[in-house]
Amino acid sequence: MYLCLFSDLHVSLPFDEFTLAVLRALNVALTQMHPNTWTSIQVFHLCDVMHLHPSPSSFLSYYTSHLASHVSCHSLISRSRSVLFDSFVVSYKRFKERFAKVIILPEATTYFFDENGWSRFPLYWTSQPHDFKEWPRPMGSVDELEILSYFDALPRKLPTRKLIGAYNESARWAAVKGMRLYFFYRSILCFVF
């Protein structure tokens, strides 16, 4: 994983079900997504504060994917009328130079593999990430309709840097982050820098 995901964006392991589902829906590995796309995923966790349960469909309905042959990362671009958040940084330069290798310890396999041994998200770069122009807006679930209603009512181009900063400032997020990090460092993974 790129270190900026931990240091700048406060991504933590193990991933929650929403993050896992987005990785599966896009069919991309962790390093296959651009950091600004990770920013959007992190900020979409605002749903948690409102006691809503985010889904990949509700999240992806605000974006279009960008897969260019000369670009090595998968990016999500806000649809023109649905720009929820500004970019965390305009240009994430040199983010590929600093990374951590995540080694899965035997006692942590359930966070990465299902009971049949299949990975819960792509662990390696995939040759066919999901490319889409417009993700269909969910129509059935009451939870998804609430999420869309909530985000549709928000002002456009919310400041992601401040929202990501809420992970540090909010007592709720600090507690969640602390519990995850304690669990993470104590029993799940080993990093090799």
**Helix axes 35-43 and 17-26, enclosed angle (nearest 10):** 140
- The residue ranges of every structural domain in the chain are 3-192
What's the confidence (pLDDT) of residue 181? 47
What's the confidence (pLDDT) of residue 190? 41
Give CA–CA dist 181/183, Å, rounded. 5
What's the confidence (pLDDT) of residue 96? 78
**Helix axes 160-169 and 35-43, enclosed angle (nearest 10):** 60
> What 3-state class would DSSP assign to 13?
coil
> What is the share, in percent, of the chain residues with pLDDT greater than 90?
11
Strand pairing report for 101-104 and 189-192: antiparallel
- Report the predicted TM-score, pTM, of the whole model to 2 decimal places: 0.78
What's the confidence (pLDDT) of residue 20? 93
Q: For residue 181, which amino acid is it? A: L
What's the confidence (pLDDT) of residue 2? 84
- Residue 142, C-beta contacts closer than 8 angstroms, at least 6 positions apart: none
State the DSSP string of 60-123.
Answer: HTTEEEE--TT--SBEEEE-TT---B--SSS---SGGGSB-EEEE-GGGGGGTB-TTS-BSS--
Q: How far is CA 8 from the centre of its chain?
A: 13
Positions in the chain whose pLDDT score sits under 70: 68-72, 80, 89-92, 167-193
What's the confidence (pLDDT) of residue 9? 82
